Amino acid sequence: GAAGTQTVTFDAAYTSATDIIVPGSIMVDSAVESVHVEVQIDTRGGGADGDVLLQPNNDVILSAGILTDGGDVRIEAPGTQTGQSLYVLTNVTIDTEHNNDSNAGSVSFEGSDFILGRSGAYSDLTIDTTSNGGADGDITLVRFGLNPSAELNDQVFNAGTGTIFVNGDLLGGSGSASDPASLTMHGNVQLGGSYTFAFDSATGPGGEVNLTDATVSAGVAGANLTINTGSSSGSQNSGSVQLGAFGNGGGHYVNNLTVNSNGTSSGTDGQISFPTGGTGGFQIVGTLTTDSGNIKTVVDRDLTVGGGTLDASEVQMTVDVTLSVASGGTLTANGVVAGSNG
């Protein structure tokens, strides 16, 4: 056919293989309309650090994972058509140092629109760019989820000492009451603008957001972060939120941080925690606004903020903490303030 109309499919239709193993790089450019990955791609053949570049004119459909031994993975929609999408149809893992013996590659998603998931599928996506003693790779993310019925379920992004560049909202959907959505991030998280991590639900339980092992900063001034994990479905519970360090490693501090785990259902709201541990302190330049509804918020690390409100049934400290507020600012706790370390 003419350029830009073909579909490239990686499958094992004529063999019993579960992997396609190649000794080098794989590149599919915009001369191809779509790419379907139906069997795991493995570029570790021959020990080469093979890269994977999937850059079709339209959609990329992942039904299997991608493994490299230090090679980069880049999935890109060039923007020549509207609605370019990356669909994750099953649980998928992308690992750029699968042998754990050298430096890890980076993973980047680029392009216009990405709808990660298939309607009703609620697949999981795990991206791991950590090494075993070598240099860790970076992860670049764009908007995840544009349609509530076509969102990913569990999302795990582990960059180790690398950086997770966030360039869009991260949205998650729960497949069932027994399997709520979740977002877990390890590494330096750098916001490229004001975004929302939305794991709330109108049909099921709220999802969990875990940033305990992350250090969040902004690459631009004035970037706000909103996290929602509430549920408005019957007696379904809302999800918990665990916040790690917030600093200025990307060049700027986050401006306003808003965290809402207060659902409108009759279920239990999600606990918001500022746990001890992790690397660095917690500082934002704007307001900190949290609402954990009918359950407590636990503040176990020092906070430096411009002001804000902690709204909960109880604001609890289990260790000694220092709360620092910018001149002219006010930090208000709506709820019982209690300590449990004497």
**Predicted local confidence at residue 213, as pLDDT:** 94
* Per-residue pLDDT at 115: 61
Looking at residue 305, what is its pLDDT? Answer: 97
pLDDT one digit per residue (tens) for the chain, 342 residues:
344 556 666 765 544 555 566 656 677 776 777 888 888 888 876 556 789 988 887 778 888 899 998 999 998 765 444 455 777 888 999 999 987 778 999 999 876 556 666 666 678 999 999 998 899 999 999 888 766 566 788 999 999 999 999 999 998 887 677 788 899 999 999 999 999 999 988 888 899 999 999 999 999 999 999 999 999 888 889 999 999 999 999 999 999 999 999 988 788 999 999 998 666 789 999 999 999 999 999 999 999 999 999 999 999 998 899 999 999 999 999 888 887 654
Rounded CA-CA distance 155/152 in Å is 7
| Residue for token pair 């002001």 | 307
Cα gap 297→178, rounded to integer Å: 24
Q: What is the pLDDT of residue 38?
A: 85
CA distances from 61 to 35, 65, 145, 322 (A): 6, 11, 14, 49
CA distance 17 to 39: 9
For residue 142, the one-letter residue type is V
Question: Residue 9's closest CA among 47, 41, 30, 38?
Answer: 38
Q: Rounded distance, CA 225 to CA 211, Å?
A: 13
Question: For residue 98, what pLDDT is reported?
Answer: 82
pLDDT at residue 175, as a whole number: 65
pLDDT score, position 337: 84
Tell me, what's the pLDDT at 342?
Answer: 40
Q: Is the pTM of this model over 0.85?
A: yes
What pLDDT, on a 0 to 100 scale, did the predictor assign at position 5? Answer: 55
Cβ-based neighbour number of residue 326 at 10 Å: 15
